C-alpha cells in the first residue's frame, strides 16, 4: 500500500515524463462551491444504496464531475467535441451522473477505461507502410473483385501504370476494381491491343481520380466558403452585440446624466427655497421687532406725558399752597384789605402761572413727539 501511495503521490512527475501536462484551472472555483459539493455527495450516497464509502472518496468523485462540467462550459457539447472526460473503472459513477443530471443529459462526465480504449483504438495507426497496407487491402476478400485477376494481367497493368509519371498504386487499384476493363484487357487478341486497353483503363481511372479530386476540392472549397460565411455571420453578430452594448451604455450614461441634472436642479430649487424661507423669516422677525419697538416707544411717550402732567400738577399745587400761606401771613400782619389786594394780585399771578404751565406742557409734548420721531427713524437707518 505504501508503495502504491508513494508512486501515485508523484503522478505529475510520471505524467510529465510521458509528455502530459497538468493544469489547475477550475480547481479553486470548484472547491469554493461548498453547497453544490454537499448536495452532489448526497446524490452519490443515494446511488451507493447503503454501501459505505469514505467521505474523501465521495468528495473526490463529486469534485471531478463539477470540474468536468465547468471545463466543458455551457456550449452544445457532443461525444465528438466533449473536450474533457473522467476515466474510471468505478461502475457506480455512471449511475451517479445519470441521477445527478436529472436524466436529461446525453453526455456523461465519465467513461469507463475499457470503452475509452475501444473508441480510441479506431484512431490509432496500424502501420507506417501505406503501400503494403494497400496491397493487403487489395488481397483482402472483403474488397476483392468478383473474378480472379491473373498474375499475368496484374503484371501487365502494373507495368503500364509504372510508365506514367503520375502512376501510383492507387491508380492500379482503380484499374483492378473495374471488372469490365479487366475483362476487356484479358480478352485482347494481341499484346498491342491489350496495352491499348490497359492505357484506356488507366486514362479512365485517372479521369475518375481527377473527378474525385475535383469533387474533394469542391467539397473543401464549399466547406471553406461555409466557414467564411459563418465567420462573416459571427463577425456581424459580434458587431451587432457590440453595437447593442454601446447603445445600452450610451442610454445608461444619458439616464445617469439626466438623473444628475435633475438632482442638481432639485438641489438648486431646495437652496433657493431655503434662502427664500430664511429671508421671509428674517422679514417677519424684523416686523415683530419693529412692532415691539413701536409699542415700547408708545409706552414711553405715555409715561413721559403722565410724568409731565404730574409735574405740572405738583407745581400748581405747590403754587396754591405758597399763595395760601402768603394770604394767611398777610391777613395776620397787614390787615384784611391788604390781604384782599394781595389775594387779587396773587390770583392774577396764579393765572399767569397756570398759563405758563400750559405753555410749558405743550412745549414738553412737542419735544416728546420729536424725540419719538427721532427714535423711530434710527432703526430705519
Residues 6 and 116 in one domain: yes
Residue 5: pLDDT band by 50, 70, 90 thresholds? confident
Q: Tell me: pLDDT of 8 over 60.
A: yes
pLDDT tens-digit series, residues 95-150 = 898 888 875 666 888 998 888 888 887 777 677 776 777 677 666 655 555 556 67
Collapsing DSSP states into helix, strand and coil, what is residue 111?
Answer: strand
> Within a domain: residue 305?
no
H, E, C per residue of 218-236: HHHHHHHHHHHHHHHHHHH
Half-sphere exposure of 114 toward its Cβ, with a 13 Å CA cutoff?
3
Residues 135 and 114 in one domain: no
**Which of the listed residues 196, 220, 244 is the one where a domain comes to its end?**
220
Residue 379: pLDDT band by 50, 70, 90 thresholds? very low
Residues 204 and 95 in one domain: no
Residues 215 and 185 in one domain: yes
> Within a domain: residue 360?
no
**Per-residue pLDDT at 67:** 93
Residues 148 and 94 in one domain: no
Structural domains of the chain, count: 2
**Per-residue pLDDT at 276:** 85
Which DSSP symbol is given to 20? Answer: -
pLDDT tens-digit series, residues 252-289 = 989 988 988 888 888 888 888 888 888 888 888 888 88
> What mean pLDDT value characterizes the chain?
79
- In whole angstroms, give the CA distance from residue 234 to residue 238: 6
Q: Tell me: pLDDT of 338 over 70.
A: no
**Per-residue pLDDT at 132:** 74
- In whole angstroms, give the CA distance from residue 219 to residue 101: 39
- Residue 162 structural domain: 130-220
- In whole angstroms, give the CA distance from residue 2 to residue 9: 10
**Which of the listed residues 87, 121, 155 is the one where a domain comes to its end?**
121
Residues 26 and 95 in one domain: yes
> Within a domain: residue 8?
yes
Distances in whole angstroms, Cα of residue 229 to Cα of each of 81, 143, 219, 220, 224: 22, 40, 15, 14, 8
> Within a domain: residue 177?
yes
**Which of the listed residues 179, 196, 220 is the one where a domain comes to its end?**
220
Can you tell me which residue has the cell 474533394?
A: 216
> Within a domain: residue 368?
no
Q: Which of 4-8, 260-264, 359-363 has the lowest mean pLDDT?
A: 359-363
Residues 169 and 196 in one domain: yes
What does the chain come to in residues? Answer: 381
**CA-angle at 204, arms to 203 and 205, nearest 5°:** 90
Q: Determine which helix (DSSP H) or strand (DSSP E) holds 23, and give its type and residue range.
A: none
Average pLDDT over residues 39-54: 89
Distances in whole angstroms, Cα of residue 25 to Cα of each of 29, 61, 66, 111, 314: 8, 17, 12, 21, 116
> Within a domain: residue 284?
no
- In whole angstroms, give the CA distance from residue 287 to residue 260: 40
> Within a domain: residue 249?
no
pLDDT tens-digit series, residues 157-204 = 888 888 877 778 787 887 877 777 778 887 888 888 888 888 888 888
Left (φ > 0), alpha (ψ -120 to 50) or beta: where does 317 sit?
alpha
Average pLDDT over residues 60-71: 92
Prediction pTM value:
0.35
Phi, psi of 88 (to 5 degrees): -155, 155
Q: Which of 16-25, 30-39, 168-177, 355-364 has the lowest mean pLDDT?
A: 355-364
Residues 115 and 137 in one domain: no
**Bridge partner list, 111:** 87
Give me the percent of the chain exceeding a pLDDT of 90.
Answer: 8
Q: Tell me: pLDDT of 362 over 70.
A: no
Residue 327: pLDDT band by 50, 70, 90 thresholds? low
Q: Strand 110-112 and strand 86-88: pairing?
A: parallel
Residue 381: pLDDT band by 50, 70, 90 thresholds? very low
> Within a domain: residue 60?
yes
Handedness of CA 266, 272, 275, 281 (dihedral sign): negative
Residues 98 and 164 in one domain: no
Give the residue from 320, 315, 321, 327 showing the smallest Cα distance to 350.
320
Distances in whole angstroms, Cα of residue 352 to Cα of each of 319, 323, 324, 344, 358: 11, 13, 16, 12, 10
Give the residue from 112, 109, 58, 121 showing the smallest Cα distance to 84.
109
Amino acid at each position: 500500500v505504501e508503495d502504491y501511495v508513494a508512486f501515485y503521490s508523484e503522478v505529475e512527475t510520471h505524467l510529465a515524463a510521458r509528455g502530459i501536462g497538468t493544469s489547475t484551472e477550475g480547481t479553486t472555483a470548484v472547491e469554493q462551491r461548498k453547497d453544490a459539493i454537499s448536495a452532489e455527495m448526497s446524490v452519490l450516497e443515494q446511488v451507493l444504496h447503503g454501501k459505505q464509502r469514505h467521505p474523501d472518496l465521495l468528495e473526490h468523485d463529486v469534485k471531478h464531475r463539477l470540474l468536468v462540467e465547468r471545463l466543458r462550459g455551457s456550449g452544445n457539447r457532443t461525444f465528438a467535441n466533449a473536450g474533457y472526460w473522467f476515466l474510471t473503472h468505478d461502475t457506480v459513477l455512471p449511475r451517479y451522473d445519470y441521477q445527478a443530471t436529472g436524466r436529461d443529459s446525453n453526455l456523461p462526465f465519465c467513461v469507463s477505461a475499457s470503452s475509452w480504449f475501444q473508441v480510441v483504438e479506431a484512431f490509432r495507426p496500424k502501420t507506417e507502410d501505406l503501400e503494403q497496407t494497400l496491397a493487403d487491402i487489395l488481397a483482402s476478400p472483403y474488397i476483392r473483385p468478383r473474378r480472379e485477376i491473373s498474375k499475368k494481367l496484374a503484371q501487365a497493368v502494373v507495368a503500364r501504370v509504372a510508365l506514367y509519371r503520375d502512376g501510383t498504386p492507387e491508380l492500379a487499384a482503380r484499374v483492378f476494381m473495374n471488372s469490365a476493363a479487366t475483362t476487356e484487357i484479358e480478352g485482347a487478341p494481341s499484346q498491342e491491343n491489350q496495352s491499348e486497353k490497359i492505357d484506356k483503363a488507366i486514362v479512365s481511372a485517372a479521369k475518375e481520380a481527377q473527378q474525385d479530386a475535383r469533387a474533394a476540392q469542391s467539397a473543401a472549397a464549399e466547406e471553406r466558403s461555409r466557414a467564411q460565411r459563418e465567420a462573416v455571420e459571427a463577425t456581424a453578430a459580434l458587431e451587432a452585440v457590440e453595437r447593442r452594448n454601446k447603445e445600452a451604455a450610451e442610454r445608461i450614461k444619458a439616464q445617469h446624466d439626466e438623473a444628475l441634472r435633475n438632482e442638481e436642479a432639485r438641489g438648486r430649487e431646495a437652496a433657493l427655497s431655503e434662502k427664500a424661507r430664511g429671508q421671509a423669516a428674517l422679514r417677519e422677525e424684523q416686523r415683530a421687532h419693529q412692532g415691539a419697538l413701536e409699542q415700547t416707544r408708545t409706552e414711553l411717550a405715555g409715561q413721559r406725558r403722565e410724568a409731565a402732567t404730574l409735574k405740572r400738577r405738583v407745581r400748581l399745587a405747590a403754587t396754591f399752597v405758597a399763595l395760601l400761606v402768603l394770604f394767611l401771613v398777610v391777613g395776620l400782619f397787614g390787615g384784611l384789605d391788604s390781604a384782599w389786594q394781595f389775594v387779587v394780585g396773587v390770583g392774577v399771578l396764579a393765572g399767569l402761572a397756570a398759563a405758563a404751565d400750559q405753555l410749558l406742557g405743550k412745549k414738553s409734548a412737542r419735544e416728546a413727539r420729536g424725540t419719538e420721531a427721532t427714535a423711530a427713524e434710527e432703526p430705519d437707518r
